[in-house]
Amino acid sequence: MDFKERILTAMEHQEPDRVPVMGLVMDPATSNQVLGKQPADIGGLLNDPSMRGQVKDIINLSWNDIMYSNFADALEASIKLGFDANWTVYTSMEVVEDPQCKTGLAWHDAFGRLWEMTTDDKGNMLLNYICGLLTTEDKWEAWVENKRPSFDMMIQNVAGYHRKLVDNYGDRIYPIGYAAPGIFENSWQPIGFVNFSRFVYQKPNFVERVIAFHTDLYLRYLDAVMQSGVEVVMGGDDLGQKTGPMMRPELIEKLLGESYRRVSETVHKKGRKLVWHSCGNIYSLLEKFVEWGFDGIITMEPTAGMELGRVREQVGHKLVLVGNLDVSYLLVRGSREEVEAAVKKAIRDAARGGGYILSASHSHSSVDPKRLEWMVDAAHRYGKYPISI
């Protein structure tokens, strides 16, 4: 089998020749190490007052090229590491003047979040969500009205971006387009979680309007991702924290259940499969994921208490399972023996009968490429069907 057949067979809960392995490579820190590239010192340039304005303008004018280059490198790195698939993500950002940030500049995304840029110890750029810009109903209304042309342009860019990545890399790896952030995150993060939670009770009509707006926009976003032509796409919302859901499951159903059903219907009408991303402890939401129509889930964050075997036992083969290998220790500084043992356990816990794609539980700049190599090697050695470990 080739990488595409392997992924699609697993998505049908059938046994391919071996367990597919998916990369979640997206950080330049990872790609640069794999490809032997030096990081672009964007942080240093932005900290230089004589260069800051010029660099800001270049970034804003070249944002689509920057995004494409980042994920082209991610796919090249994933191919070199031996992955069958890797996710691809498009984010719309603009650099603006902001004296509150150390560099005097902040990053605003299309949905109304403020991000601050930092660098790691090797000079790779990192972006961190700081807060929402739309803390009142009036600010939200004004932002949405002013940004309507930007939303249309973003959807156009999303379609072209994912299509170009598939055209250029789809013969060597399976690029799985990820429509992110999701409806819940786009609804609460620009407003702030405290404000959003308060508005749920004090301004329910406003919250309904926010969610309805982001549902319609997200469906357009997903449609744009699907124009790449691949048979599997990703969606997602972080609905959990370390100890459980961010809101009561009943409230999540009330606020978002119908939106998620529409998401699944949109994907399935196109004949595609939908893998849903959510961090956190989400045991109490697994049956909802099935009810909402998701085909698979990704992350199953081990540091939030998610155990792969328990998830398989709870949902059986109602969901394809993707992920679960720890990125807090195992794939950062774990020994080869520890990585190999974790891979073998994941295969034992979830791979029989198909419906499992092995991957890290997430991506961040400290994940070590050497340990990703160990993960892939172990999956190739121990993941052959029929499973015998």
Share of the chain above pLDDT 90, in %: 88
CA distances from 69 to 32, 74, 158, 170 (A): 12, 9, 14, 16
Tokens at 297, concatenated: 């889930």
Strand positions, DSSP E, the chain: 21-23, 85-89, 93-97, 105-109, 113-119, 125-132, 174-178, 232-236, 273-278, 296-299, 320-323, 356-359
At 40 the pLDDT is 76
Write down the H helix ranges in 238-385.
Answer: 249-269, 286-292, 308-315, 330-333, 336-350, 369-382
CA distances from 37 to 32, 66, 172, 317, 369 (A): 5, 15, 21, 41, 13
What is the C-alpha to C-alpha distance for residues 36 and 364, in angstroms, rounded to an integer?
18
- Whole-number average pLDDT of the chain: 95
Q: Are 64 and 159 in contact (CB under 8 A)?
A: no
Q: For 201-214, write each residue's pLDDT tens digit.
A: 999 999 999 999 99
What does DSSP assign to residue 158?
H
Residue 50's φ and ψ, nearest 5 degrees, are -75, -20
Q: Give the CB-side neighbour count of residue 80, counting CA atoms within 13 A.
A: 16
- Angle, CA 339 vertex, CA 334 and CA 235 arms, to 5°: 100
Provide mean pLDDT across the span 295-319.
98
Is the pLDDT assigned to residue 290 strictly greater than 80? Answer: yes
Q: Which amino acid is at 209?
A: R
Q: So what CATH class is 3-32+63-91+132-382?
A: alpha beta
Q: For 346-385, write each residue's pLDDT tens digit.
A: 999 999 999 999 999 999 999 999 999 999 999 999 999 9
Question: Residue 291 — very low, low, confident or very high, per pLDDT cuts 50/70/90?
Answer: very high
Closest CA to 26 of 362, 374, 376, 371: 362
Reading phi first (left if > 0) and then psi (alpha if -120 to 50, else beta), residue 280 is in left
At 123 the pLDDT is 74
Question: Residue 55 — very low, low, confident or very high, per pLDDT cuts 50/70/90?
Answer: confident
- Spell out the domain ranges in the chain: 3-32+63-91+132-382
At 56 the pLDDT is 86
Provide mean pLDDT across the span 5-13.
98
Q: Give the CB-side neighbour count of residue 11, counting CA atoms within 13 A.
A: 24
Share of the chain above pLDDT 70, in %: 99
At 11 the pLDDT is 98
**In the block, residue with structure tokens 């993960």:** 375
Q: For 325-353, write each residue's pLDDT tens digit.
A: 999 999 999 999 999 999 999 999 999 99
- The crossing angle, in degrees rounded to 10, of helices 369-382 and 336-350 is 50
Helix (H) or strand (E) holding 141: helix 137-169
What is the C-alpha to C-alpha distance for residues 185 and 198, in angstroms, rounded to an integer?
16
Is the pLDDT assigned to residue 116 strictly greater than 90? Answer: no
